[in-house]
Amino acid sequence: MSDRKANDAGRAGTASPEAERSLFGEILDWMLAPLLFVWPLSIAFTHYFANNVANFPYDQSLRELVATLSRQVQYVDNKPVVALHASTRALLRADEIDSVYFHVVDESRKLLVGDRELPIPEGTGKGNLVPGEVYFRDIEFNGQELRIAYSYLLDPQLPDKHWLLVEVGETTEKRTQLANRIVASVILPQFIIIPLAVMLVWFGLSRGLRPLTRLRHTIEDRDPGDLSPIATRRVPEELEPLVEAFNEMLERMKRNVEAQQRFVADAAHQMRTPLTGLKTQAQFAARETDPAALRHALRQIATGVDRAGRLVNQLLTLARTEGGELGQQQHAPTDLTQLLREVVEDWVIVALEKRIDLGFESPGPAMISGNEFLLRELVKNLIDNALRYTPAGGHVTCRTIVTEVSVLLEIEDDGIGISEEQAELVFERFYRVDDATTEGSGLGLAIVQEIASQHGARAMLRPNPRGKGSVARVVFSAWHPPPPPRPPPEDYAELYRQSPPLGP
């Protein structure tokens, strides 16, 4: 375990920055980054609303000052007169922080009372403004921000063009101080809340990712040869798909390991006999002085080498099919009739040497979905098995039978035959029928069964219903081409133009 952790640490030391990214850091970034982005926005919004809150009471105060100053205006002989009492003037000048300015002017911009330097609004006339209503504007005056409340007065007995403008302006120092206090009262606690939130998020993530750490330790502590599935009893719901996928991978690895172990055991068991025979023949040839006997021994050695080579090829094919190496290749539409014809042509010479009539029958194409290489191995092993157990002068017939839903591959012979009991056992590895007098490894039909299962097919061997011999049959699902795409819709616009109009 220590060596493995040391290797993991060594790999981590040379890993790329992308590989060093942790799930904890990724989640933490996605949680804190929005917080750090929203914080400046929060400050900006807080400042905006703080200014609005600070303006409201001081605007109300300016509104009252405008109303107080407006009440001091009287009309004597249709002429405006402003009798500004000392108390009113003191009220207007009572602010200790901000500077307050006021004045009353008529429609000709003549100052009736107040500060002459206070700016008058741009334009002339009250326009669409409602008399007696207080309005506000902000200007820069003597290098300071100035908030002005103003109102137009109108005597009902005078023409509309005779109006008075009442204005009261105040610098914004008190507003700024109040807004700053509001912002500070909101922002300063955040300097405590946000670090506390980061700590709580860190703690929560550490607790939340603890099952993932526990799962990692569970995997690390397993024995290298332990391929049993991981229990999902204490696994969180979000990790169950990951654990299930990992268990499926362990199951595939277990099958592959078992297939490799079977292959090693089978190879060790089966190769022992032919290698012992080859050694015996070589020792016999080494002691032989008669040229004819020596040639016979060499022929026996050559025959033994061929037998051993065939056994090795079958073992390798079986190991590759059981391990799924060949089955993982993509299946494609294949004409089984054409494939069977080509394999039969390859075996004609072997059949002639054994004086066996090898025939081929087929009504036409037989389309299935499969791996062409594996299907050739399947057909080759079936024909080889039939030729081995058929005596000279016998017949072997290969055919395909096509139905609506299935394609049948049949290899019929009139050889030594097979019993019902043996028919259930022949697809096991290294099993050979009791009456067999020919040489073989007993792997051919095991390969056939494995390839058939990878194609979703069923392989069987039964006594020949026509007499002696047997019939090997593999039932595949028929492949049908997908339906053609629908033709494009007709040009409804053209049909509409050609159709008669509706209505009168």
What is the DSSP secondary-structure string of 391-406?
Answer: -TT-EEEEEEEE-SSE
How far is Cα 219 from Cα 238, in angstroms, rounded to an integer? 18
Q: Is residue 409 predicted with pLDDT exceeding 80? A: yes
412 in Cβ contact with 360 (< 8 Å): no
Tell which phi-psi region holds residue 103, choosing left (phi > 0), alpha (psi between -120 and 50) or beta.
beta
Nearest alpha-carbon partner for 339 in 389, 409, 404: 409
339 in Cβ contact with 379 (< 8 Å): yes
Q: Does residue 104 or residue 239 have the better pLDDT?
A: 104
Q: Which two tokens stand for residue 364?
A: 């036409």
How far is Cα 165 from Cα 117, in angstroms, rounded to an integer? 15
Q: Which two tokens stand for residue 16?
A: 């790329």
CATH class of the domain defined by 49-180:
alpha beta
- Supply the DSSP symbol for 268: H
| pTM for the model | 0.45
CATH code 1.10.287.130 region(s) in the chain: 237-321
For 237-321, CATH number out of 1.10.287.130, 1.10.150.240, 3.40.50.1980, 1.10.1660.10 equals: 1.10.287.130
Residue in the structure block whose two tokens are 């049949």: 410
Q: Is residue 17 predicted with pLDDT exceeding 50? A: no
CATH code 3.30.450 region(s) in the chain: 49-180
User: CA distances (Å), 73 to each of 67, 104, 105, 159, 264, in order?
Assistant: 10, 9, 11, 17, 116
% pLDDT > 90, the chain: 13
How far is Cα 385 from Cα 378, in angstroms, rounded to an integer? 11
23-77 confidence digits (pLDDT tens): 777 777 777 777 777 878 888 888 888 888 888 888 888 888 888 888 888 777 7
Q: Give residue 484's identity as a one-letter amino acid code.
A: P
List, in order, residues 6 or more apart from 359 with CB less than 8 Å away: 395, 396, 397, 398
pLDDT, average across residues 358-377: 90
Quote the pLDDT of residue 16: 47
Lowest-confidence segment of 214-218, 309-313, 340-344 by average pLDDT: 309-313
Residue in the structure block whose two tokens are 């799962």: 215
427 in Cβ contact with 445 (< 8 Å): yes
List, in order, residues 6 or more apart from 493 with CB less than 8 Å away: none
List, in order, residues 6 or more apart from 405 with CB less than 8 Å away: 477, 478
Quote the pLDDT of residue 10: 46
177 in Cβ contact with 53 (< 8 Å): no
Quote the pLDDT of residue 430: 59
Nearest alpha-carbon partner for 415 in 331, 472, 343, 487: 472
Q: Is residue 12 predicted with pLDDT exceeding 50? A: no
Looking at every residue in the chain, the average pLDDT score rounds to: 78
Q: Is residue 395 predicted with pLDDT exceeding 90? A: yes
Domain 328-477 in CATH: superfamily? Histidine kinase-like ATPase, C-terminal domain (3.30.565.10)
**Which band of pLDDT confidence, cut at 50, 70 and 90, is reported for residue 289?**
confident
Q: Does residue 499 or residue 482 have the better pLDDT?
A: 482
pLDDT, average across residues 399-415: 92
Residue in the structure block whose two tokens are 């300071």: 144
Which range in 75-79, 101-105, 237-241, 328-332 is most confidently predicted, on average pLDDT? 101-105
Dihedral sign for Cα atoms in the order 331, 334, 337, 342:
negative
- Tell me how crowded residue 403 is: count the other CB atoms within 10 A of its CB: 10
Q: Which two tokens stand for residue 25?
A: 């850091």
Q: Which two tokens stand for residue 401?
A: 């039978």
CATH code 3.30.565.10 region(s) in the chain: 328-477
100-142 confidence digits (pLDDT tens): 888 888 877 888 888 888 888 776 555 677 788 888 888 888 8
- Supply the DSSP symbol for 449: H
